[in-house]
Amino acid sequence: MIKVTIWNEFRHEQEIPAIAAIYPKGIHGQLAEALAAEDLEIRTATLDQPEHGLTDEVLQSTDVLVWWGHCAHALVRDDIVEKVHQRILEGMGLIVLHSGHFSKIFKRVTGCTCSLKWREAGEKCRLWNIAPTHPITQGIGEYFELPHEEMYGERFDIPEDGKVIFIGWFEGGNVFRSGVTFERGYGKVFYFQPGHESYPTYYDANVIKVIGNAIRWARPVFFRAHSAPNSPALEEIRSVDTAPHAAVLQNADGTNR
C-alpha cells in the first residue's frame, strides 16, 4: 500500500459558494474520492488543522504528499515546510498541483521564484504528452484536452533539470511546461498544471489518471536520512602527496595546522 496524504489549503471552497458548488467536499475530498484504489491508503490534511494536518506522525507515515494551495501560501508555517522538505530529501514523493507552483514547499525544492504568466478566461487547454514511455503518462494518449482552464504560460521560472512530461497549449496562444518531474535527495517531485478551483478539473478522467500515475511513480524506493560521513579508502592509496606544500596548511594567524 502507498500511503498518500492529500493536502489542501481549503479556503476557496469554504469562502466562495460557486467553488463550494463544484467541490462540496473540498478539492482534497474530491481528489481522495477520485483517486481511491486498492493500492492507495489515502488521507487528507488541511491548512486550518493543528500543524496544518502535517504532524510528525503524519509525515513519518506518508509516502507521497499531494499539495494544492493558492491564496494562503504565506500562512503555511516555515517550520512545517522545513519538515516536509527534509522528508522529501529522505524519500517522500511530492505532487504539486496547479497554483501550488507558488507554495513555499515548491519554491524550496526548486530554489526558484516559480513565477509564470496567467490569464483567467476559461479557455481550452491541450496537454501534449511528450514522454510516452514515462510511468506518469501511461494510459494517456498523444494529448488530452480540458474545455476550460486558467491559462498558465511561459516563462515558468523552474530549474533546467526538470524533465518535461507534458507541454500545455492554450487557446489564447500561450504554451507551458504543464507536467515536470524533479529529483531531490531521495525524493521525487512532480508538478502538474491543471486544477484551477473554478473549473471541475479534478473530475476529469485524464487528470486523475495522471495524478494517480504520478503518485505511484513518486512512491519512495526507500527512506534514508542524509548524512555526510567521512569515507575510509577501499584500497591502499599509493599516490599520497606528502610534499610540504600539500601537507602543511596554515591557519589565519600564520601558524601551521
- Give me the residues that bind Zn ion (CB under 5 A), please: 99, 150, 196
Q: Find the shortest distance in angstroms from Cβ 120 to Zn ion.
A: 7
* CB nearer to Zn ion: pick between 11 and 196: 196
| Widest CA span in the chain | 77
The nearest distance, CB 26 to Zn ion, in angstroms, is: 16
Closest CB to Zn ion among residues 49, 198: 198
Pick the closer one to Zn ion by CB: 20 or 131.
Answer: 20
Helix locations, 12-140, DSSP H = 12-15, 17-22, 26-35, 56-60, 78-90, 104-110
What is the smallest separation between the CB atom of 253 and Zn ion, expressed in angstroms? 59
CB of 38: closest distance to Zn ion in angstroms? 32
User: Which 8-state DSSP code applies to residue 73?
Assistant: G
Distance in Å, CB of 151 to Zn ion, minimum: 10
- Closest to 68 in 3D by CA, of 105, 39, 40, 37: 105
Which lies closer to Zn ion via its Cβ, residue 62 or residue 193? 193
The smaller minimum CB distance to Zn ion, of residues 28 and 196, is found at 196
Q: Cell 492529500 maps to which residue?
A: 6
Element (H, E) at 3: strand 2-8
Name which of 196, 131, 194 is nearest 166 in CA terms: 131
* Residue 76 DSSP SS3: coil
Residue number of the CB atom closest to Zn ion: 196
